[in-house]
Amino acid sequence: MHVGPGEIVGLLGANGAGKTTLIRMLLGLTVPSDGAVSVFGRVPDRTTRGRLGYVPQGLGLWDTLTVAENLAFAAAAFHNHEAPELPPGLQAARNRQVAAIGLGLQRQLAFTIALAHRPELLVLDEPTSGVDPLSRARLWDAVHAQADNGVGVLVTTHYMQEAEQCDRLILMSRGKAVASGTEADIIGDTTALEIDTDSWSETFAVLDRARLPVTLAGTRVRIADTPRDVVERALAGDEVAATIREVPATLEEKMTALDRVATTS
């Protein structure tokens, strides 16, 4: 995989796929057991870390320090003589301890800290997890602004709609990249089966027991990349009455199907 200047690359995968481990390799915190990692043309070290901005899942903030003290601490760590100004949304909270402000402001602070030393590569590990839709949209506006200024961005997310914000996607499963490209490239001609039934919960349970890649869209039961006759046999075995129709697969369904292949291979 690679991330170029001004490019937003989304790293997608289920829990345990290896996304955070890969990020730790980019930061130089974990040494690869095989293969190689190169950041700015060299093995990750303190120098490359100084050119990289990072927002971890846990945000990396000190709860007992104030907002302003967190920013000053990070500035000193990157040898900046002066901490940058806080954005307007955080100014009112500058003297409050981080533990006392909401998650939305905490994420905004973590993002401000990650950008304070003007990084050339921005690494975001689920940066919008747990925030409201408006805060999520504002964070993505900031991400796009950085990319427009030539900063490369690698971002992990569990929100499939955020995949549309990325220029390119990489799907991971069990430590391997199993697909890459745009959302349309990855889905390709993969289809799904949508099952109309009066008992969606029973239908889901039957297909799940059959180890089929079953998902739910509301109360609609869907299965990706699976022959119709396989589904029909599974339903008939439990005498489940249902109507099956073929529909285009979603990105999440394609990920489910790829993960299933990786698991059985």
Question: Per-residue pLDDT for 265 more than 60?
Answer: no
Per-residue pLDDT tens digits for 11-70 = 988 778 788 888 888 888 888 888 888 999 888 888 888 889 998 877 888 888 888 888
Mean pLDDT computed over every residue of the chain = 83
Question: Per-residue pLDDT for 260 more than 70?
Answer: no
- What is the pLDDT at residue 205? 86
Question: Per-residue pLDDT for 263 more than 70?
Answer: no
Are the beta carbons of 147 and 139 closer than 8 angstroms?
Answer: no
Question: Nearest-CA neighbor of 20 among 126, 122, 111?
Answer: 126
- What is the pLDDT at residue 81? 66
Within 10 angstroms of residue 250's Cβ, the number of other Cβ atoms is 18
- What is the pLDDT at residue 5? 93
- What is the pLDDT at residue 75? 82
Question: Per-residue pLDDT for 7 more than 90?
Answer: yes
For 80-105, what is the mean pLDDT?
79
Per-residue pLDDT tens digits for 221-239 = 888 878 888 888 888 876 7
- What is the pLDDT at residue 240? 74
For 156-183, what is the mean pLDDT?
84
Per-residue pLDDT tens digits for 121-158 = 999 988 777 767 777 788 888 899 999 999 999 998 77
- What is the pLDDT at residue 210? 83
Q: Which residue has the higher pLDDT, 217 or 106?
A: 106
Per-residue pLDDT tens digits for 8-22 = 999 988 778 788 888
Percent of the chain with pLDDT over 70: 95
Q: Which residue has the higher pLDDT, 255 or 100?
A: 100
pTM score: 0.79
- What is the pLDDT at residue 261? 62
Question: Per-residue pLDDT for 262 more than 60?
Answer: no
